[in-house]
Structure 1
Amino acid sequence: MRKNNAPLRTVDGATLMSQPLHSPNFVVDTLLAQGLHILAGSPKVGKSWLALWLAVTVAKGEPVWNMTTRQGTTLYLCLEDSVLRIQNRLFEITEDAPSSVHFCTECALIGQGLEEQIETFLTAHPDTVLVIIDTLQMVRPVHDATYANDYRDLSVLKRLADKHGIAILLIHHLRKEKAEDVFHRISGTTAISGAVDSSFTLVEEKRGSGRARLTCVGRDIEYRELELRRSEENVWELVSDSREEPVLREDRIVVLISAFMSTRTVFIGTPTELSEKIDPDKAEGVTPKKISRLILQSVEALRKNGIAAVIRRSNGKRVIELNRADSVDLEGAGEIVPIDPTAVDQPSGEGAAGAVETDSSLWGGQASRPAIRRAQFRGAAPYPAPEGEEEQCRE
């Protein structure tokens, strides 16, 4: 085996917490992001009905249980169904299926051509946002059910989803045995739950009752339980949602900050000071930790609204600086390119990247502000404050 002598690529915490980054793209807002996911349920519980409705709804760009969707092409690999059955089910759940939802009843196995088939479809349909594989077992090669094999198979699909920025949803089964944690009932080893970004379980209250609980957990979503009811048209309808607190989204923080900056040109203050000013009664759920993260992930959106945003450290404190400029100044700066988390890594050490020049476009085109040179991952965070600078809020 060839030895890998490449150095570890690291990023220090101060730098990471000051970098503009892309937030995950959601296919179904707050529920289904890009990446690999699994939906498990008992046989005949209605998983395939839910998968079919999801494929059609996303292709139409219609809401899923009051959650907005990212409209685009969808591919449903319905490997346990016939074309006739899919046609019959389509007529039950919708009056008009769009041409952007595609169905296939046969495909290759993982590692034996499936990845290439999906890649070919994505090339022909570059606006694809969702691929559903029903069921996972139908695309797995025959081998022992070990942790290593489970993880290896799902990692192939995980890499495919990440490479193309799409969501891949695997339909799977639950064990009959009861468990205190419903996710322990997902068939297979724990590698299946470990390899995916989100896990969903659909469990009926009672066989044939038409009422079920969808339990959700994942890396990019909060834990929640959705109570569902199956309609006469075999569509799972939302009855209740365990999530009570509103989710503070990137677009909402842009609205709040834009309104706040409409009466001032500059704000310099701590995350606590800014959160208290834009959400004094806490109705929006703004917290100091949330506001720092959302601003970093909304640099480009803020720029389009005429606001330049920078987060830096001053006298040992984290400081947010907002500058309102006219549209001419901002347009002259060119486009801000948020940093992809996977692209942040660079070799550390004295002989690594060295000093790089920070693009002044992060300041929304303030040409009068000189570019600041900083080490990529060494030393202080970007945009250090001048010696003795004090935090301030200028209105």
Structure 2
Amino acid sequence: MIKRFNTIDGETLMTMPLKPINFIIEDMLSEGLHILAGSPKVGKSWLALWLSVAVSKGEDVWANKVKQGDTLYLCFEDSQIRIQDRLFDITDEATKTVNFCTENALLGGELEDRIVTFITEHPDTVLIIIDTLQMIRNTSKDNNYASDYSDLTILKKLADKYGIAILLIHHLRKENDKDPFNRISGTTGIQGAVDSSFILVEETRGSGVATLSCVGRDIDYREIKLKRGEDNIWQVISDSFENHDLLLDDIVILLSDFMKDKDYHKSTPTELADELSKNRDDNISSKTLTKKILQNTMELEKRCISVVIRKSNGKRLIEIARNRDDRVDEMSTP
């Protein structure tokens, strides 16, 4: 039997509808495995606790929308009374959808089994936080590159399988480095295995002002300057992030309005981008337009708009058809 790679050619890939990235925290934390590293006592656990509560309640995180659902905070370095004290600091009310566990379990069998059981019993789970990475690792193993990558891949597969985000709390090396991500304790296998890394570095010890550096496969590089308030919640002072791409709702609304008086439209992506850019402060690029359409085909179909992207005589064309339906005008209203 001849074995082959299951391949897909570039032309097909660039014309097929794509499943949009599922963010638990918009533009920050997607499905998958992530790491939050910082120096001891910098406030990582306070941040993790607040995130677990905010996501469980569906509250925005620094003006970023969240996917509300059950959360699990595995706080293996804390006690229930400490968690209780901290909860009273950061919130007036915690719901039953935020869950805590202080009983330690090791990676390599028991931890994974307990995570799967929790997800089975809480099917609306969206976020699991593990505090800390070191607490779940077998100390008898050598933490070389292969070991680091192998251990984290176990958690990565769990996150991908169940469509959740797993956030690992970890430490930084004491040595300074121009690149803060080089300070993550362990080998580069840790950075290689995770989908994104977040580094929390305080300006000066005890100042309560820190920079959260963010980098990942599904997010742009971002630096967020934070200040810890009296309630121990980190608040944004400044944010380097500027999103010039269309938001999901933008492309749906734009095409719905564009097709309101049309049953059919055919043009190149550049021509359509120019049309949609009229009366806007920013120009929509043809690449962004094509990508966003492919990511939102299901949402467009709900509004009775079908889109086909194909090549003809060497040119890429976008064909849009609208099926008249009384529901369309209602759905196109944001």
TM-score, length-scaled by structure 2 = 0.95
Residues 72-87 of structure 1: pairs in structure 2 closer than 5 A: 72-87=69-84
> What whole-Å deviation, never above 9, does each CA across 1:283-306 have from its counterpart, x for those lacking one?
355211111111111111001112
Residues 54-133 of structure 1: pairs in structure 2 closer than 5 A: 54-133=51-130
Q: Which amino acid aligns with 2:321?
A: N
Conserved 8 A contact 1:173-1:186:
yes
Specify which of 124, 140, 148 is matched with residue 137 of structure 2: 140
**Distance across 2 between alignment mates of 1:270 and 1:164:** 38
Please name the residue that 1:348 is paired with: none
Q: Cα distance 1:42–1:249, how it changes in 2: closer, same or farther (>3 A)?
A: same
Moved over 6 A (4+): none
The secondary structure found in structure 2 opposite 1:69 is coil
Residue 39 in 1 paired to residue 36 in 2? yes
Q: Cα distance 1:318–1:106, how it changes in 2: closer, same or farther (>3 A)?
A: same
By how many angstroms is 1:247 displaced? Answer: 4.0
Aligned length: 327
Please name the residue that 1:277 is paired with: 275
> What whole-Å deviation, never above 9, does each CA across 1:88-123 have from its counterpart, x for those lacking one?
000000000011000000132111311110000000
Deviates further, 244-253 or 50-59: 244-253
Q: Which amino acid aligns with 1:141?
A: N
Q: Cα distance 1:300–1:187, how it changes in 2: closer, same or farther (>3 A)?
A: same
By how many angstroms is 1:245 displaced? Answer: 3.7
Q: Cα distance 1:245–1:120, how it changes in 2: closer, same or farther (>3 A)?
A: closer
Conserved 8 A contact 1:248-1:285:
no
**Distance across 2 between alignment mates of 1:151 and 1:282:** 46
Give the fraction of aligned pairs with identical amino acids, expressed as a percent: 57
**Distance across 2 between alignment mates of 1:92 and 1:74:** 19
* Structure number with bigger Rg: 1
Q: Which amino acid aligns with 1:198?
A: S
Q: Cα distance 1:329–1:213, how it changes in 2: closer, same or farther (>3 A)?
A: closer
**Distance across 2 between alignment mates of 1:247 and 1:139:** 39
Residues 1-395 of structure 1: pairs in structure 2 closer than 5 A: 6-142=3-139, 143-280=141-278, 283-284=281-282, 286-327=284-325
The secondary structure found in structure 1 opposite 2:148 is helix
Conserved 8 A contact 1:93-1:233:
yes
Deviates further, 275-284 or 97-106: 275-284
Q: Which structure features the higher share of helix residues?
A: 2
TM-score, length-scaled by structure 1 = 0.81
Please name the residue that 1:336 is paired with: none
> What whole-Å deviation, never above 9, does each CA across 1:339-363 have from its counterpart, x for those lacking one?
xxxxxxxxxxxxxxxxxxxxxxxxx
Structure 2 runs not aligned, ≥5 long: 329-334
Structure 1 runs not aligned, ≥5 long: 331-395
**Distance across 2 between alignment mates of 1:208 and 1:307:** 55
Conserved 8 A contact 1:226-1:242:
yes
Root-mean-square deviation over aligned CA pairs: 1.6
